[in-house]
Amino acid sequence: MTTVDSSEREARADLYVPMSAQVVDVQQMTDLEVLLRAAFDGGRPLDHCPGQFVQVSVLGVGECPISVCSSPTRPDYFELCVRRVGEVTAHIHRLEKGSVIGIRGPLGRGFDVAELHGKDILIVAGGLGIAPARSLIQYVLDERQQFGAFHLLYGVRSPAELLYRDDLTLWRESPDVNFHVTVDRPDEQWRGRSGVVTTLFRELPQLDPTETMVAIIGPPLMFKFAVLEVLARRIPQNSIYCSLERRMKCGVGICGHCQVNNVYACLDGPVFKYGQLKALREALE
């Protein structure tokens, strides 16, 4: 796949320069996840594709890759859902409306939306995988006439981990999407479905293998079982997209941190076709 020569490396060095963006809204979604809405000075759009990511930097602390979770069809701002796991993400959680952050990107390869146009779409998201998925979900809903049937399956471990609750209500009520959600471990208040996300495949009508494109985004174990369900419906491997989150540093194909064989997850991905990833056993483990 990607080979990076020295002249290309120099050209990409520009991508090391962060642009300043302002946090225009902050919403604490769960104990661990915050939703930031940000905008560049002067209102310049981020111009991303669903599935791409940015490197978010906090001055004096560091930077980390975060998927863009809003759609390019909403160009006045971009949104980032950040789970607090370590130092940089803890600092991101302390940001307030008006804080300034550095943004490099958009980076990587997202979903090929032109290839998705005219197709039936199935998105299967697990846990934090709903963050990159949401950019594509919003895109399909905003450009609804460009797509056939739209099915969305979402699973989390417990009700407290559900993200984007306002969106979930909208999707549940919308005639534009066949949306189902489940939790592995229900609590006393939960009135919805329980069980792992693959149990939601029962809710799907028959899928047309030649007309359906699938995106599966979630932890490796979920991916493994979801892909079996999809393959059992005779959907070809190259109609299945998945997102691969390797550890990344530079995000632009220079440091080699994200490399698996001859593939750079930051350049060739993070969104891949299942057919491509299957050849990289290490990537799927």
Q: Which residues contact ligand FES (rule: CB under 6 A)?
A: 248-251, 253-258, 264, 266
- Contacting ligand FAD (CB under 6 A), which of 58, 82, 124, 226? 82
Residue 156 binds to ligand FAD (criterion: CB under 6 A) = no
CB of 132 to ligand FAD, least distance (A): 6
- Contacting ligand FAD (CB under 6 A), which of 79, 120, 161, 245? 245
Is 131 or 140 the residue whose CB approaches ligand FAD more closely?
131
- Residue 115 in 3-state DSSP? helix
Partner in contact with 100, chosen from ligand FAD, ligand FES, none, beta carbon below 5 to 8 Å by kind:
none
Q: How is residue 68 written in tokens? A: 């863009």
Residue 45 binds to ligand FAD (criterion: CB under 6 A) = no
Residue 215 binds to ligand FAD (criterion: CB under 6 A) = no
Partner in contact with 72, chosen from ligand FES, ligand FAD, none, beta carbon below 5 to 8 Å by kind:
none
Residue 55 binds to ligand FAD (criterion: CB under 6 A) = no
Q: Distance from first CA to last CA of the chain, Å, rounded?
A: 20
Tell me how far the alpha carbon of residue 266 is from its chain's centroid: 14
Q: How far apart are CA 86 and CA 105, in angstroms?
A: 22
Is 112 or 208 the residue whose CB approaches ligand FAD more closely?
112
The residue length of the chain stands at 285
Element (H, E) at 266: helix 265-268
Partner in contact with 256, chosen from ligand FES, ligand FAD, none, beta carbon below 5 to 8 Å by kind:
ligand FES
**DSSP E strands, the chain:** 19-28, 33-40, 53-58, 62-67, 78-83, 100-107, 120-126, 150-156, 178-183, 193-194, 212-217, 240-243, 259-260, 263-264, 271-273
Question: Pairing relation of β-strands 263-264 and 120-126?
Answer: unpaired
CB of 178 to ligand FES, least distance (A): 36
Residue 85 binds to ligand FAD (criterion: CB under 6 A) = yes
Half-sphere exposure of 264 (CA within 13 A, CB side): 18
Residue 268 binds to ligand FAD (criterion: CB under 6 A) = no
Q: How far apart are CA 5 and CA 74, in angstroms?
A: 36
CB of 217 to ligand FES, least distance (A): 19
Instruction: Tell me if the bond preceding 236 is cis, omega within 30° of 0.
Output: no
Residue 83 binds to ligand FAD (criterion: CB under 6 A) = yes
Is 95 or 244 the residue whose CB approaches ligand FES more closely?
244
Partner in contact with 118, chosen from ligand FES, ligand FAD, none, beta carbon below 5 to 8 Å by kind:
none
Nearest to 84 by CA among 38, 34, 134, 132: 34
Tally of CB atoms within 10 A around 23: 18
Contacts of ligand FAD in 108-147 (CB under 6 A): 128, 131
Q: How far is CA 110 from each of CA 5, 19, 67, 106, 161, rounded to the nearest angstrom? A: 23, 21, 10, 10, 25
Q: How far apart are CA 29 and CA 161, in angstroms?
A: 9
Is 61 or 149 the residue whose CB approaches ligand FAD more closely?
61
Residue 248 binds to ligand FAD (criterion: CB under 6 A) = yes
Where does this chain bind ligand FAD (CB under 6 A)? Answer: 53, 64-67, 81-83, 85-89, 128, 131, 245, 247-248, 270
